[in-house]
Amino acid sequence: MKEMYPEIEPYNTGFLKVSDLHTLYFEEAGNPNGKPVVFLHGGPGGGLIANYRRYFDPKKWRIVLFDQRGCGKSTPFAELKDNTTWDLVSDIEKLRTHLNISKWAVFGGSWGSTLALSYSITHPEKCSELFLRGIFLLRKKEIDWFYQEGCSKIFPDLWEEYVKPIPENERHDFVTAYYKRLTSPDAAVRKSAAHAWSVWEGSTSKLMYDAEAASRFGEDEFADAFARIECHYFTNKGFFTEDNFLLNNVDKIRKIKTVIVQGRYDVVCPADSAWALHRAFPEAELHIIGDAGHSLSEKGITSKLIEYTDMWA
């Protein structure tokens, strides 16, 4: 089993103004002359944590990370205006140009896999490799599974906490009901909804329940951006023109060397999405990790991803 590389500090940090409203925080770590890779965090709205730098050999990779619009150190915080998938795709290109990188590998899990696919479909010539984990294609059936009904059968106790902020007469559409509260002018209403939404995901992300992880997801500032931005994207169907947009455009990325790493017991982004992507894109190498859920930090998922970042360095 491969383990994460030792903790490392960035050698460069900065802010990039990407629109009249939004400014992104970014950082670089590892070897300034190494092979470039951009790390796309989850959510949308999740932001960066220091451990994300540790999935790459710092002697071989030039590791670029950034907080997507509205989260982490990017400003304005928790902002929904001008915050779409295609704005983020444009931001990635602006960051690549700003850093004078001609081509880079793209690493993304969960929502990061959605964004990685969206970016590579739009700019295939700028991608050397794709490292994809916990595949999320942002189709209606995936949203319905996790936020409306399916997952409740596995976690009825945790589901009970998720549904608490929503009255019975609105429970036929939790995403819409949550969006109403997460955009409420009442700060207390927003806080209650953001906490319940975020803890639900944090509680179900690992194969074995992790109370500490669930608690981190519920912290006020993190939950505020995470819940608001996620629900904003899901309400707008990922800003895609069709439900199967990513699968229907796989031909554009067929020549990019790609690995898919998926937890067998991932309930947040179930394995049938990774399987559907692999069936549409058989050139991509698929690894289903038999003792893992959704989280990037699951040992088997961590090990397999680092195996590939080492191999393709």
Residues with a known catalytic role: 110, 266, 294
Interatomic CA distance for residues 243 and 17, integer angstroms: 31
Residue 218 token pair? 């519920």
DSSP string, the chain: ---PPPP---SEEEEEE-SSS-EEEEEEEE-TTSEEEEEE-STTTT---GGGGGGS-TTTEEEEEEPPTTSTT-BSTT--TT--HHHHHHHHHHHHHHTT-S-EEEEEETHHHHHHHHHHHH-GGGEEEEEEES-----HHHHHHHHTSGGGGT-HHHHHHHHTTS-GGGTT-HHHHHHHHHT-S-HHHHHHHHHHHHHHHHHHSSSS--HHHHHHHTSHHHHHHHHHHHHHHHHTGGG-SSTTHHHHTGGGGTTSEEEEEEETT-SSS-HHHHHHHHHH-TTSEEEEETT--S-TTSHHHHHHHHHHHHHT-
Q: Rounded distance, CA 52 to CA 56, Å?
A: 9
Scanning the structure block, which residue is given the tokens 């898919």?
Answer: 260
CB-based burial label for 19 (10 Å; 0-12, 13-18, 19+):
middle
